[in-house]
């Protein structure tokens, strides 16, 4: 699904937040809002993954459920939107293809950030066309409590100094919450209230997602 976002004085700064969102939770939302404010993003586009190369598709909830939960979670924020681009793709979806799509859509008027977890950055050299990717956009790496950016620098700084320059650390306490944690609580019959928006919570219960 392609769409055009309103432009700000002819230029646009957006953040793409990719993830399975299985389910989306407050950690994702807090991260997106903090990134929007700190990096002065005009919009944050949530991009539910379609056929991610590093995950077993059979272990991921149906894409339509994940898309609708994400939509319910962000509908009340005018700076957030959701794209169906990856979930509508029949092919394996790669970050570089998504970034290229938006760069082509907005041409040189776009400044693009990709928002992901700091731990995922450690594997960035395994991503498809990562060198081109790093030249096309910058990364906002959201960290969990206790994560030290010095660890990332120690592991990658000497070998890939050009990568460190394109990565910006964003410390988010709420990132201690994970989708895996929510799925386990639902399976165990425990509450997930306040861990995800109420609309998402009710959607999960109504559709009996994550129930063993």
Return the residue matching tokens 């010095």. 150
**What mean pLDDT comes out for the span 9-18?**
88
Please give the structure tokens belonging to residue 1. Answer: 């699904």
Question: What is the predicted pLDDT for the residue at 28?
Answer: 95
Task: Indicate if the pLDDT at residue 8 is higher than 60.
Answer: no
Could you tell me which of 32, 59, 30 has the C-alpha nearest to residue 47?
32
Question: What is the predicted pLDDT for the residue at 7?
Answer: 59
With a pLDDT cut of 90, the percent of the chain lying above it is: 58
> pTM for the full model?
0.89
Could you tell me which of 139, 141, 21, 136 has the C-alpha nearest to residue 87?
21
Write down the CATH superfamily of domain 12-176: HUPs (3.40.50.620)
């Amino acid at each position: 699904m392609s769409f055009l976002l309103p432009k700000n004085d002819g230029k646009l700064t957006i953040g793409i937040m990719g993830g399975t969102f299985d389910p989306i939770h407050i950690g994702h939302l807090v991260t997106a809002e903090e990134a929007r404010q700190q990096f002065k993003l005009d919009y944050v586009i949530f991009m539910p993954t379609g056929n991610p190369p590093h995950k077993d598709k059979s272990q991921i909830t149906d894409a339509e459920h994940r898309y609708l939960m994400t939509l319910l979670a962000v509908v009340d924020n005018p700076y957030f939107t959701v794209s169906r681009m990856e979930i509508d793709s029949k092919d394996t979806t790669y970050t570089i293809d998504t970034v290229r799509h938006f760069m082509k859509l907005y041409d040189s008027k776009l400044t693009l950030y990709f928002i992901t977890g700091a731990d995922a950055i450690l594997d960035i050299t395994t991503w498809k066309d990562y060198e081109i990717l790093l030249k096309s956009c910058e990364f906002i790496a959201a960290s969990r409590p206790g994560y030290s950016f010095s660890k990332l620098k120690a592991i990658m700084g000497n070998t890939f100094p050009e990568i460190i320059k394109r990565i910006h650390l964003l410390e988010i306490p709420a990132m201690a919450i994970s989708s895996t944690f929510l799925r386990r609580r639902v399976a165990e019959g425990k509450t997930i209230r306040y861990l995800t928006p109420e609309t998402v919570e009710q959607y999960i219960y109504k559709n009996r997602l994550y129930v063993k």
